[in-house]
Structure 1
């Protein structure tokens, strides 16, 4: 799907900005859904050789290379492990000191801005405040509250609303059960990640286990505590472990179990602070 379909209101807003040739040089895209697609579309607008009223054509050489992430003057930075390291940003800044290969412009997309190491963020600040050349920086995050205030204060913050219904409809059209599609749609930030989970049979089986665990938390905490080990054993991937807390919270809030939902939130904060996954789950059932 195109950015105009994923985020029609934001697309219209940025189309006006491009038509007026008033694109700011630094943005923080918060919320995740469609953020990468928007960043790439705006990148195309900086290099497209066949602009129409300021908007990229999407088919010229430059637009196609950008879509394939194979364009020399587009730099995509992602976490190396759990963080975006200082050396990654130093390497990036070195390229900023040079002119672009294709034009005098360069674009950087930092995916997972909340994972910038504090020293990496500080190194980036000067380029955001005083870019040495024509540089555009797009910082993407699904967790704006975890992004350093110094970064947020120097970039234009744009919120990308979560399109739950759109994701759910997409999954159901692809054959996912409605109940599964509803839950997956609420915890994913892109059609791609939602489809990946929906096609993961092991995850779908474990999804039922999460729902059963939530029910047991309400009816019998002692039994729920005994279920933790089995639940933890089914989620080895860090990303999916994080989803367990999101899913539990959604299910419990829907059941109006606010106190248990609060315990899930606290357990999630322990998990994000690198407490063992099983130990974090056990705190919910205590």
Structure 2
């Protein structure tokens, strides 16, 4: 999926930056979802041979090589084991002392910036502060709080909305009710899976019944037990049973009922130990 679809708001924002030729030389992309795609797209904008209103065409030789991480003046750095080592950055700095091989520009993408060894980060700082040539550095992290402050303070920090927020927005735009879209976005790991659940009438009805159960439990345990008897036949599918525990936990957390949320995790353990679904649900009430 294109970056224009993954992060439409940030795509529009950076499109304006490129059109006005105002791209900063150092960014920290925080959040992970779509960050690499954005960095690649911006790298293409530095090398594209057929720019359209200063935006990369995506089709020329340079754009295709950048997308394949096979362009001479694009450097991708990632952790070597548990950290990005000092020697990796020193090797990178050697290339900074030269202009690019194919152009006068170079682009560096550092994936996992929170794993920069402190000495590696210090070695990188001067290049961020005083680049020797036309160099653009994109630091990517899913854990901004673990990135060294010296790095954060010298780069423009851009926060990327989470995958769950993207999925929720996408489903809502496609006509899924906001409440359903919110739940689906928190229990799936991919957009195709989200689209599948949003189109599954049995799943959507199951979500409604789980919601009723949590409300009944808050007021009357006996009513909640009756709800379980009505719920169980809806969840014949093993995958749906597994999702139901996650959905119940989400409902309880949102309603600030941590005791019941904890009971859900206990019930889920019983279910995973092959206790039948209805008996496992009853553990939520009985503790």
Name the TM tier (shorter chain).
0.5 to 0.7
1:64-101 Cα distance to aligned partner (Å, 9 max, x none): 00111111110001111111111111111111112211
Give runs of aligned pairs for residues 125-204 of structure 1, distance below 5 A.
125-167=125-167, 182-185=185-188
List aligned pairs for 1:20-99, cutoff 5 A: 20-99=20-99
Give how far 1:167 is off. 3.9
Deviation per CA, 1:161-203: give whole Å up to 9, x if none: 1141544779xxxxxxx99964454xx6x869x99xxxxxxxx
1:204-227: CA deviation from partner (whole Å, max 9, x where unpaired): xxxxxxxxxxxxxxxxxxxxxxxx
CA distance in 2, matches of 1:154, 1:179: 36
TM-score, with length taken from structure 1: 0.63
Deviations 1:233-255 (A, max 9, x none): xxxxxxxxxxxxxx9x9687357
- Residues 256 and 128 (structure 1 numbering): CA distance in 2 closer, same or farther, change over 3 Å? same
Q: Structure 2 unaligned runs (5+)?
A: 172-180, 195-246, 262-287
Structure 1 CA distance for aligned equivalents of residues 13 and 182 of structure 2? 34
Query: What secondary structure sits across from 2:126 in the alignment?
Result: helix
CA distance in 2, matches of 1:127, 1:260: 52
Are the counterparts in 1 of residues 28 and 158 from structure 2 also a CA contact under 8 Å?
Answer: yes
Distance in 1 (alpha carbons) for counterparts of 2:250 and 2:99: 48
Q: Could you tell me which runs of 5 or more consecutive residues in structure 1 were left unpaired when the two chains were aligned.
A: 171-177, 196-246, 262-286
Q: Distance in 1 between matches of 2:250 and 2:127?
A: 39
With normalisation by structure 2, the TM-score equals 0.63
Structure-2 change in CA distance of 1:182 and 1:93 (3 Å): same
Cα 1:183–1:127 shift into 2, 3 Å: same
Q: Does 1:114 align with 2:114?
A: yes
In structure 2, the residue matched to 1:13 is 13
2-side partners of 1:140 and 1:96: how far apart? 20
State the Cα deviation string for residues 139-167 of structure 1 (Å, max 9, x = none): 00111111111000000001111141544
Could you say which structure has the larger radius of gyration?
Answer: 2
Asked if structure 1 preserves the Cα contact closer than 8 Å seen for 2:7 and 2:166, the reply is no
* Partner secondary structure for residue 157 of structure 1: strand
| 1:118 CA drift (Å) | 0.7
1 CA distance for matches of 2:82 and 2:252?
A: 29
Does the 8 Å contact 2:96/2:132 carry over to 1? yes
Q: Distance in 1 between matches of 2:111 and 2:48?
A: 22
Q: Point out 4+ residue stretches in structure 1 off by more than 6 angstroms.
A: 249-252
* Distance (whole Å) between structure 2 residues aligned to residue 257 and residue 25 of structure 1: 47
Query: Quick check: 2:164–2:186 contact (8 Å CA) kept in 1?
Result: no
Q: Shift of the alpha carbon at 1:110? A: 0.4
